[in-house]
């Protein structure tokens, strides 16, 4: 089943695929082991009635020249750049910017937001320790409770008082008092109809330009698999779930894979794992020390239920709609046709509604029919889509969508990564394997860097610091 001196790559998401491609085009045999029947991981694209759906919006964020050139090469002529045009849903209406939402509030609420912002600027909470404390200090109690608390609770599934403080500045850069005061005054002064009309005409986030794949991100990764296989020295073992990882004398020796025909062992010289950090530790044979098992067992992920709808006609403007207020359970609604016309078919438009949850919770265990009904009700309630125009729907459940940044998680990650660093032939890279909000740029870069290391090129091994997800974090991921 395996070749001599091969590298075994666990997981065929963007990270694993980039590593497999780079190694095989340089003559190094690889075996890629993937539990799903398709490649692409969280960046895969699915199809319904000829329409294409990514797992939420999947935009390619410019990272560095190597990555941009890689996307252009692999994406052939299918990649194009476009401006962000996202919207925010708040209390029954879609808005183009936060200033517009602020102006839509009753004057008394506007004044209370401004007063609480001023109060916290003068009297901040000493030593803020959580996301909530930090946001309250940055924006004031009222603005935090109106705009931030609800979406963050939905996103994490835990009270933002238990979330790591630094997350506040990963999602939004820290506002200065002067900048915030200026924004509010500017919003008030621009209440005239003329100024509002101008603001409406400008797409939100017009400063953000990103790449998109004409048919959805997963098509780039399907193509990457195809050209990697063409080298003749890359084998893809799909529908093969890694269930055990054997090690001896500081080296990984083999992995057990569960396939439809039973269990197989895949052996290799080197191993690159993109599996979730906690799963990896749980599969080690023999077991690691107890403190490593304990640390890994504390790490957990937020999961995702995606409801895909095919709608007759394009129902609304904007690429995606972030849900700010609590009247909808959904976290985000995406209109893929407004990201790329080719993702629709004829008059049919692909839309998705995202629900963050934990596997096994009440939401996750609802039947597909119940979830579709709920999502339809919410679309109707949002005023965006008349559901008699829905001609098809499906539900997709994705595990390990977001590593939860609870207070203290870094210590557990460090305990596990320090232990894994002791294996001389293992690189553990990728979003879930390093428990970080890596985007596709980070993923591809970490795959290429891991391959560089095995090819003897001088780079930062595994590149954990280079690939620190804090560096160009973008709130879409
Ligand atoms: C809702 C959402 C929106 C996003 N939007 C964007 C965006 O706009 N732009 C952007 O750049 N990034 C975005 N991302 C992030 C992007 O999806 C990830 O950065 C990228 O997919 C990470 O690639 P990866 O290979 O590291 O991990 P993954 O994509 O998670 O791939 C890991 C692979 O390992 C496989 N695997 C797991 N366990 C096993 C096992 N036991 N045996 C065998 N195989 C296994 C999985 O099936 C999967 O294929 C988004 C993510 C989410 C959840």
**pLDDT 10s digits, 281-292:** 999 999 999 999
How far, rounded to the nearest angstrom, does the alpha carbon of residue 66 sit from its chain's CA centroid? Answer: 21
Q: Which pLDDT value is given to residue 192?
A: 52
- Ligand 1, atom 12, lies closest to the CA of 439
Per mean pLDDT, which range of 186-195, 247-256, 427-436, 451-460 is the poorest?
186-195
pTM for the complete prediction? 0.92
Other C-beta atoms closer than 10 Å to the C-beta of 140 total 22
For residue 447, report the distance from its CA to the centre of ligand 1, in Å: 13
pLDDT band, residue 453 (cuts 50/70/90):
very high
**pLDDT 10s digits, 68-110:** 999 999 998 899 999 999 999 999 999 988 888 988 999 999 9
Residue 430 near ligand 1, beta carbon < 6 Å = yes
Q: What is the DSSP string of 358-382?
A: -TTSHHHHS-HHHHHHHHHHHHHHH
Biggest CA–CA distance in the chain, Å, is 72
Interacting residues of 335 by C-beta distance below 8 A, sequence separation 6+:
314, 315, 316, 318, 319, 320, 321, 349, 350, 351
**Could you tell me which CATH number the domain at 7-43+63-82+214-297+406-454 has?**
3.50.50.60
Residue 210 and residue 320 in contact, taking contact as beta carbons nearer than 8 Å: no
Residue 241 near ligand 1, beta carbon < 6 Å = yes
Q: Which residue has the higher pLDDT, 4 or 74?
A: 74
How far apart, in whole angstroms, are the C-alpha atoms of residue 159 and residue 130? 10
Place of tokens 């050209």: 227
3 state SS of 354: strand
Tell me the sheet residues that pair with 52. 47
Residue 278 near ligand 1, beta carbon < 6 Å = no
**pLDDT 10s digits, 315-361:** 999 999 999 989 999 999 999 999 999 999 999 999 999 999 999 99
Q: Which pLDDT value is given to residue 186?
A: 66
* Domain regions of the chain by residue span: 7-43+63-82+214-297+406-454, 97-144+164-194
Q: Which pLDDT value is given to residue 181?
A: 64
Other C-beta atoms closer than 10 Å to the C-beta of 266 total 21
For residue 443, report the distance from its CA to the centre of ligand 1, in Å: 8
How far apart, in whole angstroms, are the C-alpha atoms of residue 469 and residue 465? 9
Residue 332 near ligand 1, beta carbon < 6 Å = no
**pLDDT 10s digits, 224-267:** 999 999 999 999 999 999 999 999 999 999 999 999 999 999 99
Mean pLDDT value of segment 356-369: 97
Per mean pLDDT, which range of 200-204, 319-323, 430-434 is the poorest?
200-204
- Chain-wide mean pLDDT for the chain? 89
**pLDDT 10s digits, 150-198:** 999 999 999 999 999 887 766 555 555 556 666 666 666 665 554 444 4
For residue 436, report the distance from its CA to the centre of ligand 1, in Å: 11
């Amino acid at each position: 089943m395996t070749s001599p001196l091969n590298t075994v790559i666990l997981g065929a998401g963007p990270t694993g695929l980039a590593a497999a491609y780079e190694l095989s085009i340089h003559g190094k045999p690889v075996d890629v082991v993937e539990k799903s029947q398709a490649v692409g991981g969280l960046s895969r694209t699915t199809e319904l009635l000829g329409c294409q759906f990514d797992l939420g919006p999947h935009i390619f964020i410019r990272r560095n020249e190597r990555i941009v050139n890689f996307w252009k090469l692999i994406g052939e002529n299918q990649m194009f750049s476009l401006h962000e045009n996202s919207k925010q849903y708040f209390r029954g209406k879609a808005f183009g910017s936060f200033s517009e939402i602020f102006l839509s509030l009753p004057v008394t609420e506007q004044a209370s937001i401004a007063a609480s912002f001023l109060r916290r600027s003068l009297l901040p909470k000493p030593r803020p320790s959580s996301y909530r404390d930090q946001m309250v200090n940055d924006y004031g109690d009222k603005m935090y409770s109106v705009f931030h608390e609800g979406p963050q609770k939905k996103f994490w599934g835990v009270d933002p008082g238990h979330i790591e403080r630094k997350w506040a500045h990963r999602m939004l850069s820290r506002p200065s008092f002067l900048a915030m005061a200026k924004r509010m005054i500017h919003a008030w002064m621009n209440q005239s109809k003329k100024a509002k009309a101008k603001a409406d005409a400008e797409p939100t986030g017009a400063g953000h330009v990103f790449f998109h794949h004409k048919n959805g991100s997963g098509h780039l990764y399907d193509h990457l698999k195809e050209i990697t296989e063409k080298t003749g020295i890359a084998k893809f073992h799909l529908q093969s779930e890694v269930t055990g990882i054997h090690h001896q004398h500081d080296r990984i020796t083999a992995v057990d894979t569960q396939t439809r025909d039973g269990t197989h062992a895949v052996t290799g010289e080197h191993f690159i794992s993109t599996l979730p950090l906690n799963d990896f530790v749980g599969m080690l044979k023999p077991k690691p020390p107890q403190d490593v098992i304990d640390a890994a067992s504390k790490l957990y992920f937020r999961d995702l239920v995606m409801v895909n709808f095919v709608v007759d006609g394009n129902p609304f403007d904007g690429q995606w709609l972030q849900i700010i207020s609590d009247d909808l359970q959904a976290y985000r609604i995406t209109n893929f046709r407004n990201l790329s016309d080719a993702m629709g078919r004829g008059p049919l438009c692909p839309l998705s509604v995202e629900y963050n949850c934990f596997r096994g919770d009440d939401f996750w265990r609802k039947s597909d029919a119940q979830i579709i009904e709920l999502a339809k009700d919410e679309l109707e309630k949002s005023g965006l889509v008349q559901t008699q125009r829905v001609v098809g729907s499906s539900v997709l459940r994705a595990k390990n969508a977001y590593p939860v940044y609870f207070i203290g998680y870094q210590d557990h990650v460090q305990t596990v990564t320090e232990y894994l660093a002791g294996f001389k032939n293992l690189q553990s890279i990728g979003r879930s394997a390093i428990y970080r909000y890596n985007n596709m740029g980070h993923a591809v870069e970490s795959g290429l860097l891991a391959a560089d290391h095995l090819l003897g090129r001088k780079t930062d091994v595994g590149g954990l610091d280079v690939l620190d997800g804090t560096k160009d974090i973008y709130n879409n991921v």
